[in-house]
């Protein structure tokens, strides 16, 4: 059956009225990054089961799905309705309909956060120094600290010489230890622009006494200036003293109050979570290590700097309520101050109570089809006998790094096309990193092939742990590698032209925000 449609004007009206909605682009990430509406969240059809319950927790949320004529939206709508979502519609005319109705389209990923960062710099004139200026400071051994506001794994890939990893939400909490002399020049960097702008402005907003500047254009700017990056570094922030923690708490709370962040008690949170008419996200913005050692039941681990950077990915219902929690009053308040300026209704949980749950966060997901699982050793024997085809549903980058020998990489949203390119087999064994995603494809492969289908128990990880050996390379790609958009600011081998084009695009985001007119941002 065909689903109801929802128009561009319907969605625009809801955005302007701050009503809850989820606009889902169900294409693969690379296609999404080429063109999409400002507040569209990318939840690819190929892994809808893994993500949608966490990203759209309330089943009667108005959900609108779209594609660009690939035929994915109707299938996504069918699945969502089958999982109990009661207000699902397809975007009228798809992406082309949005454009024809006058809707603004954006490229890249995490665009609301990036556009907001550009607006912050434009309105607050966030101080910055060029790569050449920072290099000169380092060369003359000036009194300067370089703080990298990205995730630690990103920092390890490439970093500014002498840089220390201090992910964005940690900056206000850790700065007094890292630069105890108020005369020390503080430089904040990321790979491009957004996190260095937000990190620098966080320190400015919090009123730290040091001079602070963003590294203009981040590691991209550093590279374009012909300067050398470090790799594999491991310098990280240390513990904050009680006195410095107390001072940072007071600074962060003052910033949050100025931004209009509200306060929530445990009782208020319980009332919000029981309110069936609103979506409430509960995010723990401390480090993942702190979260796993003990956290509030029901809270999801989203370090604050990444939450500000990737809000659309974590909170895919625009107009929802967000509650943040930490154990120091710094990271939650600073993160909340930015979310409030980005138009979110956001509260900080004061006196959260016992962090009684331990371990990593686990998402709720739909039940997977019942499947017969086989051990890695059984698969090894079957492959030696012949007649078995292994289909690998992991991310393409992971497949290239290592996969079961002979396994074909397939994109689930293009499964039928992939199977047509592969020689027929007597039986199929499905896998991915852990076989979690592969488990959802069992019935689809069975229907398309008419052959017995099995699931590799524990996936590629179990195969490797059994010492059976992995094959590397891209010789067995049965689908196009469109599952991930290659960001011009990641890694170390992006073409200079792509880096410069990315910077030029960021410079134009404020004008695009003005043309779109739905953002609701307010810079304090």
The residues spanned by each domain of the chain are 5-111, 122-237, 251-349, 372-465
Q: Which is nearest to 57 in space by CA: 352, 314, 336, 295?
A: 314
Question: Whole-angstrom Cα distance, residue 188 to residue 199?
Answer: 7
Q: Token pair of 27, please?
A: 């294409």
What does each of the 524 residues of the chain score in pLDDT, given as a tens digit? Answer: 578 999 999 999 999 999 999 999 999 999 999 999 999 999 999 999 999 999 999 999 999 999 999 999 999 999 999 999 999 999 999 999 999 999 999 999 999 999 999 999 999 999 999 999 999 999 999 999 999 999 999 999 999 999 999 999 999 999 999 999 999 999 999 999 999 999 999 999 999 999 999 999 999 999 999 999 999 999 999 999 999 999 999 999 999 999 999 999 999 999 999 999 999 999 999 999 999 999 999 999 999 999 999 999 999 999 999 999 999 999 999 999 999 999 999 999 998 788 999 999 999 999 999 999 999 999 999 999 999 999 999 999 999 999 999 999 999 999 999 999 999 999 999 999 999 999 999 999 999 999 999 999 999 999 999 999 999 999 999 999 999 998 877 766 678 888 888 888 888 999 999 999 999 999 99
Q: Is 96 within 8 Å of 68 (Cβ atoms)? A: yes
122-237 placed in CATH 3.40.50.720: no
Domains 251-349 and 372-465 share a fold: yes
Q: Is 8 within 8 Å of 16 (Cβ atoms)? A: no
Q: 372-465 adopts what CATH topology?
A: Oxidized Rhodanese; domain 1 (3.40.250)
Domain 5-111 in this protein, CATH class: alpha beta
Query: Exposure of 65 by Cβ count < 10 A (0-12 exposed, 13-18 middle, 19+ buried)?
Result: buried
Give the three-class secondary structure for 328: coil
Question: Whole-angstrom Cα distance, residue 75 to residue 42?
Answer: 15
Identify the CATH assignment for 251-349 out of 3.40.50.360, 3.40.250.10, 3.40.50.300, 3.60.40.10. 3.40.250.10
β-strands 372-374, 388-392: how paired?
unpaired
Question: Whole-angstrom Cα distance, residue 483 to residue 152?
Answer: 24
Q: Is 486 within 8 Å of 461 (Cβ atoms)? A: no
Q: Is 476 within 8 Å of 404 (Cβ atoms)? A: no
Q: Which is nearest to 160 in space by CA: 191, 114, 204?
A: 191
User: What is 475-523 written as a DSSP string?
Assistant: TTB-S-S-SS---TTSSS---HHHHHHHHHHHHTHHHHHHHH-------
Sheet (strand 345-349) strand order:
262-264, 345-349, 321-325, 280-284, 300-301
| Residues comprising the chain, all counted | 524
521: phi > 0 → left, psi -120 to 50 → alpha, else beta; which? beta
């Amino acid at each position: 059956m065909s689903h109801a449609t929802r128009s561009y004007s319907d969605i625009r009206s809801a955005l302007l009225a701050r009503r809850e909605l989820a606009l889902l682009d169900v294409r693969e990430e690379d296609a999404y990054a080429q063109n999409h509406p400002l507040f569209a969240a990318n939840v690819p059809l190929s892994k809808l089961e893994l993500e949608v319950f966490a990203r759209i927790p309330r089943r009667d949320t108005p959900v609108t799905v779209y594609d660009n004529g690939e035929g994915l939206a109707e299938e996504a709508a069918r699945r969502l309705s089958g999982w109990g979502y009661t207000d699902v519609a397809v975007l009228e005319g798809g992406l082309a309909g949005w454009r024809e109705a006058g809707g603004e389209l954006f490229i890249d990923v995490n665009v609301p956060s990036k556009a907001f960062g550009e607006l912050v710099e434009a309105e607050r004139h966030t101080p910055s120094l060029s790569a050449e200026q920072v290099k000169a400071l380092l060369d003359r051994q000036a009194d300067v600290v370089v703080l990298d506001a990205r995730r630690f794994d990103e920092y390890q890939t490439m970093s500014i010489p002498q840089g220390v990893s201090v992910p964005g939400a940690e900056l206000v909490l850790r700065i007094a230890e890292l630069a105890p002399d108020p005369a020390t020049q503080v430089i904040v960097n990321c790979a491009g622009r957004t996190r260095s702008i937000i990190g620098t402005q966080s320190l400015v907003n919090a009123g730290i006494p040091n001079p602070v500047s963003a590294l203009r254009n981040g590691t991209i700017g550093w590279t374009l200036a012909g300067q050398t990056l470090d790799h594999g570094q491991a310098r990280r922030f240390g513990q904050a003293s009680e006195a410095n923690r107390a001072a940072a708490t007071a600074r962060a709370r003052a910033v949050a109050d100025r931004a209009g962040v509200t306060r929530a008690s445990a009782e208020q949170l319980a009332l919000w979570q029981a309110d069936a008419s609103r979506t409430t996200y509960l995010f723990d913005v401390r480090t993942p290590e702190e979260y796993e050692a003990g956290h509030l039941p029901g809270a999801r681990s989203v370090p604050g700097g990444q939450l500000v950077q990737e809000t659309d990915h974590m909170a895919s219902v625009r107009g929802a309520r967000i509650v943040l929690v930490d154990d120091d009053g710094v990271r939650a308040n600073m993160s909340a101050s930015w979310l409030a300026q980005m138009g979110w209704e956001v509260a900080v949980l004061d006196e959260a109570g016992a962090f009684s749950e331990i371990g990593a966060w686990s998402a709720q997901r739909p039940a997977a089809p019942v499947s017969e699982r086989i051990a890695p050793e059984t698969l090894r024997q079957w492959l030696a006998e012949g007649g078995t085809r292994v289909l690998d549903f992991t991310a393409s980058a992971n497949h290239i790094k290592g996969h079961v020998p002979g396994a074909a990489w397939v994109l689930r949203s293009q499964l039928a096309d992939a199977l047509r390119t592969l020689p027929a087999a007597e039986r199929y064994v499905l896998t991915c990193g852990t076989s979690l995603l592969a488990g959802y494809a069992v019935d689809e492969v069975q229907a398309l092939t008419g052959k017995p289908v099995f699931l590799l128990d524990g996936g590629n990880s179990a195969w490797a742990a059994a010492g059976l050996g992995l094959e590397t390379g891209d010789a067995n790609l049965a689908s196009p590698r469109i599952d991930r958009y290659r960001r011009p600011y990641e890694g170390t081998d992006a073409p200079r032209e792509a880096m410069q084009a990315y910077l030029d695009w960021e410079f134009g985001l404020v004008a695009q925000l003005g043309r779109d007119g739905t953002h609701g941002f307010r810079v304090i």
